[in-house]
Structure 1
Amino acid sequence: MAQSAHTGHLLGGPGILVQDDRRMVSEVSDWFRHVGRDTLLRQEIDREYPTEYVYFLKSSGLLERSLVPSWLGDHQDGWTPYRVAGLSEHLAFHSFTHWLMWHVSSLSAVPVWGSQNTTVQNTYREQFRAGMLGAFGMSERGAGADWRNTATSVKRLADAYVANGGKDYTGNGNVSSLITTFARNADGGDRDYVLFRADSHRAGFRLVRNATPEQMYTSEFRLTDYPFGDDDIISTGGQAFADAVNTINIGKFNLATAATGLASRALVETFHHTSHRSIFGSTTAAFGQNRDALCRATLRLIGMKAFTSRCVDHMHAAGEDDNRYVVLNSIAKAKVTHDVTDVIHSLCDVISAKAFETDSAFRPVMKYAEYLPRLEGTKYVNLMQAVRAAPAFFDFARNTEPVPDAADDALEAPRYLLSQRKLGGLEKLAFSDHIPSKEALGHLPAVALFFDVVERLGATLFTGPLDQRDQRKVQAFGEIFATAVYGTVIAEYARTHPDDEVWASVFSLILQDLALTLVTSRQDFAEHRELAESVLTAIQSVHTEWPAGRILDHLEAAATRASGLL
């Protein structure tokens, strides 16, 4: 197969995983093959709780090996942003339900490892070792993404605490003894919170229902004078709020890696079906419109995987003065998850009626992809957070070095990421210089034009902070900013993973996205009409021939590797 050594893995392989993690992925693949595709599809249709998967998590030690940092365990594996992101993508490729059960367990763990309470840390470590699923009790229907107004409360008694209230949309809440729960302190002030461990098996805990009519259990539960002690406290006060938000900033980034896992599965399923279906004397994969859709989907997926890979690099490299990952992760949650739904919609037109059949793995992928952009706030909430950093990002007079790719110490969890204490400061971040990427890739017309457009937009639209009260402008400018960051970060990846043919095609699609945003938001850019029109004219002049032969060759190889799953 003719493909670049630098971009071949992005076309469906484990691009985020460092080498040692592939052993873990291999175990997961072997288990899914053992269970079998037909069984998995039947269980999903029947909404059968995947008990045998819980047994697998226990027997394989996957929860401890992937979620407990090595410095707290007696194992060589452990939590790292690379391992969690790579495993997230891989599990979602196989099954959304099974991914979700593991993913919410990962969320429950993130604030615990930075806790000052070693007793609660030991509880989580030992329970993960025993195969206990975790849960993250943050969401409340009444508060939505306004977490400061959470209604669940904790009151201190003489020798214990009691909690009252309830949580919604909490995966694994039906079985977990490790429900990391966010509440306000009933005896404190407006910004006094508690993060504690709840146990679904204790008195005072009532499971209300599964909030979704699916195989996955997304619980609604209520706490009524639920008792717990100091040994269950993870953090308190403003720190509890910071820990909860940092969990979302770090852990829920993997909605994006799950999205790319789903898109990878949809792409391989579509190619497998269309390359084996012949009408009018040809396979349907060879039809012009289908070849075009398969190429577009693959190129978009390459871009998304390159972006999320660099997001993980930024998480690994984070430090006291470098929280750029917060901005990148917000964009990943807002943009990548939505872009994946567009990719899957386009592939649905290719695979056609097969997408809806009982025995089609495309059907659950298509359904569950719609969940991901909406499982954590909304696209607008994430754009609103990210766009605060726009003036800093477009301050091109900077000399900050880009973070390295998959660092040599990638097998060790970055302690800062699991113990950071502050929020905010996005307006003061220093982003890495885009000039090296511009110079390295400037011979590609689409990349050169991308950076020209970004510089012009930055000098015109983002000269100061946006008025957050103007929601429509925040949305429109946030889309532009997200696409600018997205392309710039992909260019960082492309600079160290050269493949002119692929990156020229990826950036031609990014330019199309910029053009679409300018057209659909023209009212919000009325005062910059001349700039917008000149940008659109320039974008229309760029034409890139896609490497269709290479892409189809790759898809054929990917389908072969996935034999036994399709």
Structure 2
Amino acid sequence: ILGLGPIWMSQNEKAKEKAARLLKEGAIFAYGLSEKDHGADIYSTETSLTPMPDGTWVANGEKYYIGNGNEAEMVSTLGKIKDGTDDYTFFATNFRHKAYELKKNVVSHQEYVSNFALHDYPITEDDILSRGSHAWDCALNTVNVGKFNIGPASIGVAEHCFYEAITHASNRILYGMPVTDMPHARKNFMDAWLRLVGMKLYQRRASDYFRNASQNDRRYLLYNATSKMKVTLQAEDVIDLLWEVISAKGFEKDTYFHMAAADIRGPSKLEGTVHVNIQLIRKFMQNYFFNPAEYSPVSPDFSDKDDLFLFNQGPTRGLGKIVFHDYKPVFEANKGLPNVAAFMKQIDIFKEMLEKAGPNEAQDMDPSWSLPLGEMFSIVVYGQLILEQVGIGRVDLDIVNQMFDFMVRDFAQFAMQIYGNHSSKDAQRDYCVKIMLIKAVPSPEQYNSVWERYVSVLNGEYAMNE
């Protein structure tokens, strides 16, 4: 996806036709963006394209952490043109060329994540994919597509582990009882399963907004970033909850879990870290809460149409001008659920805090303050799209109420972080206390019902081949 992005978004028809032919032949592609000394800081890109007297160019520079760079027939490579403009440019390179030095695999896994260097690599007009602001937009818009796939990847890893863990724990007898009869173990499984359900509901609904985006509806930029930072972190929470139950079993070589426990830490750190995406979504907070706009409802989209806008997303600027539909109606429609009602109270207090005791400039620039604030915002967005999908998919409302139990707890947890921050003002702490004092509403009967009907029955549903 990443390697193809700048090609799809290019106006170079020859490059597109070449990529299409290579795809049919089974070729792979790579995205040559990051550099060892600069990571994802593309402002500091050092790879260069130097013009030659005959109208061609030569490329020089080194790229680092590039998946598929060992065998990619087309590597979409980002550089700067050294013609006095310092324009950004994407150009295509090939791993077979003698001027393309494959230096090493930078990871210890079976997949190849390359470090390669270009030494006077010849580039013609046919190899130029984009330049100037278009190249910059292609870089970011490609990531907008690629990072959306990371959420489903995390869901798959975590769900696989869940099935493995609950089957193990249900059939393990300790102190005369199945492990799943122990209250703390059951609580972990319930929390893990509910978080998995939330992840899937959110991702499903977010995909509708992504597929139906346009220049006049760029709400997907908030929902994609929330998927990237929220779904991936929820998957890590799921693994942690399960591991506390299965303990040493999670290290055994004949489990999927032992691999997943390491791999699950990766997605939140790829395609822009959690921190980057939280700071991104904070740009949308003002309009989300205080300037709602009217939009036509977005229907579920399972069609096989071409999602052409994804490959022509346009300029990446103007995020602060993006407006959103009002989040309140979908919460109001579900306020009969006690934990949704509790969460709504927390949202109202949070919104009032933003309005009357929002962060000052120093707090805004301090990640220890701004990140938990962004986390709280993300939970509101997360809850909104979950409830939208609940209305579409007719999810059992007992599940929904239990799901918002953990969301109320999570919201309070981040309020605690702001409360404890040394730079927080008294008024901000007062709002945080009000949020923390709102508790999830327990319902033991409902909790046990969801466990019996939906969670415990997953015992034995999946086992890895011997």
**What TM-score comes out, normalization by structure 2 length?**
0.92
Q: Do the aligned partners of residues 413 and 188 (structure 1) sit closer, same or farther apart at CA in structure 2, a change above 3 Å counting?
A: farther
Match of 1:267 among 162, 166, 180: 162
Matches within 5 A, 1:160-239: 160-190=56-86, 192-239=87-134
Q: Distance in 2 between matches of 1:561 and 1:227?
A: 56
- Give % identity: 31
Q: Deviations over 1:532-558 (max 9, x none)?
A: 2122112x2622445445446545665
One-letter amino acid matched to 1:132: A
Q: Deviations over 1:368-396 (max 9, x none)?
A: 01111112332211111110110000026
Using the TM superposition, give the Cα deviation of residue 451 of structure 1 relative to its aligned residue in structure 2, in angstroms.
2.3
Q: Distance in 1 between matches of 2:15 and 2:129?
A: 7
Q: Distance in 1 between matches of 2:463 and 2:237?
A: 26
Match of 2:392 among 492, 496, 499: 496
Using the TM superposition, give the Cα deviation of residue 415 of structure 1 relative to its aligned residue in structure 2, in angstroms.
1.1
2:428 corresponds to 1:528: yes
Paired position in structure 1 for 2:408? 511
Paired position in structure 1 for 2:312? 419
Q: Distance in 2 between matches of 1:304 and 1:402?
A: 22
Paired position in structure 2 for 1:82? none
Q: Distance in 1 between matches of 2:65 and 2:188?
A: 35
Q: Deviations over 1:198-230 (max 9, x none)?
A: 111111111111111112211111111112322
Using the TM superposition, give the Cα deviation of residue 465 of structure 1 relative to its aligned residue in structure 2, in angstroms.
8.9
One-letter amino acid matched to 1:528: Q
Match of 1:453 among 319, 333, 346: 346
Using the TM superposition, give the Cα deviation of residue 256 of structure 1 relative to its aligned residue in structure 2, in angstroms.
1.4
2:218 corresponds to 1:323: yes
Q: Distance in 2 between matches of 1:403 and 1:445?
A: 27
One-letter amino acid matched to 2:430: E
Using the TM superposition, give the Cα deviation of residue 470 of structure 1 relative to its aligned residue in structure 2, in angstroms.
3.6
Using the TM superposition, give the Cα deviation of residue 531 of structure 1 relative to its aligned residue in structure 2, in angstroms.
1.8
Paired position in structure 1 for 2:335? 442
Q: Do the aligned partners of residues 537 and 565 (structure 1) sit closer, same or farther apart at CA in structure 2, a change above 3 Å counting?
A: same
Matches within 5 A, 1:285-434: 285-395=180-290, 397-406=292-301, 410-434=303-327
Q: Deviations over 1:268-316 (max 9, x none)?
A: 1111222232333333233322211111000011111111112211111
User: Would you say the 8 A contact 1:518–1:525 is kept in 2?
Assistant: no
Q: Out of 436-445 and 396-405, give the one that drifted further.
A: 396-405
Q: Distance in 1 between matches of 2:436 and 2:359?
A: 25
Using the TM superposition, give the Cα deviation of residue 347 of structure 1 relative to its aligned residue in structure 2, in angstroms.
0.7
Q: Distance in 2 between matches of 1:185 and 1:240?
A: 11
Q: Do the aligned partners of residues 561 and 280 (structure 1) sit closer, same or farther apart at CA in structure 2, a change above 3 Å counting?
A: closer
Using the TM superposition, give the Cα deviation of residue 154 of structure 1 relative to its aligned residue in structure 2, in angstroms.
1.2
Q: How many positions carry a matched residue from both structures? A: 457
Q: Deviations over 1:217-250 (max 9, x none)?
A: 1111111111232222221111011001001112
User: Would you say the 8 A contact 2:350–2:435 is kept in 1?
Assistant: no
Q: Distance in 2 between matches of 1:350 and 1:216?
A: 31
User: Would you say the 8 A contact 1:272–1:556 is kept in 2?
Assistant: no
SS in 2 for 1:183: strand
One-letter amino acid matched to 2:76: T
User: Would you say the 8 A contact 1:394–1:462 is kept in 2?
Assistant: no
Q: Distance in 2 between matches of 1:234 and 1:398?
A: 37
Paired position in structure 2 for 1:83? none
Using the TM superposition, give the Cα deviation of residue 482 of structure 1 relative to its aligned residue in structure 2, in angstroms.
1.4
Q: Distance in 1 between matches of 2:341 and 2:55?
A: 66
One-letter amino acid matched to 1:441: N
Match of 2:173 among 273, 278, 285: 278
Using the TM superposition, give the Cα deviation of residue 423 of structure 1 relative to its aligned residue in structure 2, in angstroms.
0.8
Gaps of 5+ in 1: 1-105
User: Would you say the 8 A contact 1:196–1:232 is kept in 2?
Assistant: yes
SS in 2 for 1:405: coil
Q: Do the aligned partners of residues 394 and 275 (structure 1) sit closer, same or farther apart at CA in structure 2, a change above 3 Å counting?
A: same
SS in 1 for 2:121: strand
SS in 2 for 1:337: helix
Using the TM superposition, give the Cα deviation of residue 163 of structure 1 relative to its aligned residue in structure 2, in angstroms.
1.1
User: Would you say the 8 A contact 1:135–1:176 is kept in 2?
Assistant: yes
Higher relative contact order (CA 8 A, sep 6+): 1
**What TM-score comes out, normalization by structure 1 length?**
0.76
One-letter amino acid matched to 1:370: R
User: Would you say the 8 A contact 1:466–1:474 is kept in 2?
Assistant: no
Using the TM superposition, give the Cα deviation of residue 563 of structure 1 relative to its aligned residue in structure 2, in angstroms.
4.9
Paired position in structure 2 for 1:474? 370
User: Would you say the 8 A contact 1:400–1:433 is kept in 2?
Assistant: no
Using the TM superposition, give the Cα deviation of residue 560 of structure 1 relative to its aligned residue in structure 2, in angstroms.
5.2
One-letter amino acid matched to 1:473: W
User: Would you say the 8 A contact 1:173–1:221 is kept in 2?
Assistant: yes
SS in 2 for 1:431: coil
Gaps of 5+ in 2: none
SS in 2 for 1:441: coil
SS in 1 for 2:61: strand
Q: Do the aligned partners of residues 397 and 166 (structure 1) sit closer, same or farther apart at CA in structure 2, a change above 3 Å counting?
A: closer
User: Would you say the 8 A contact 2:99–2:118 is kept in 1?
Assistant: yes
Using the TM superposition, give the Cα deviation of residue 459 of structure 1 relative to its aligned residue in structure 2, in angstroms.
3.2
Q: Distance in 1 between matches of 2:338 and 2:291?
A: 21
Q: Do the aligned partners of residues 290 and 147 (structure 1) sit closer, same or farther apart at CA in structure 2, a change above 3 Å counting?
A: same
SS in 1 for 2:8: coil
SS in 2 for 1:478: helix
Q: Deviations over 1:5-54 (max 9, x none)?
A: xxxxxxxxxxxxxxxxxxxxxxxxxxxxxxxxxxxxxxxxxxxxxxxxxx
Q: Do the aligned partners of residues 245 and 466 (structure 1) sit closer, same or farther apart at CA in structure 2, a change above 3 Å counting?
A: farther
SS in 2 for 1:452: helix
Q: Do the aligned partners of residues 420 and 366 (structure 1) sit closer, same or farther apart at CA in structure 2, a change above 3 Å counting?
A: same
User: Would you say the 8 A contact 1:391–1:465 is kept in 2?
Assistant: no
Q: Out of 258-267 and 470-479, give the one that drifted further.
A: 470-479
Using the TM superposition, give the Cα deviation of residue 160 of structure 1 relative to its aligned residue in structure 2, in angstroms.
2.4
One-letter amino acid matched to 1:507: F
**How big is the alpha-carbon RMSD for the aligned residues of Structure 1 and Structure 2?**
2.2
Q: Distance in 1 between matches of 2:360 and 2:137?
A: 24
Q: Distance in 2 between matches of 1:544 and 1:237?
A: 58
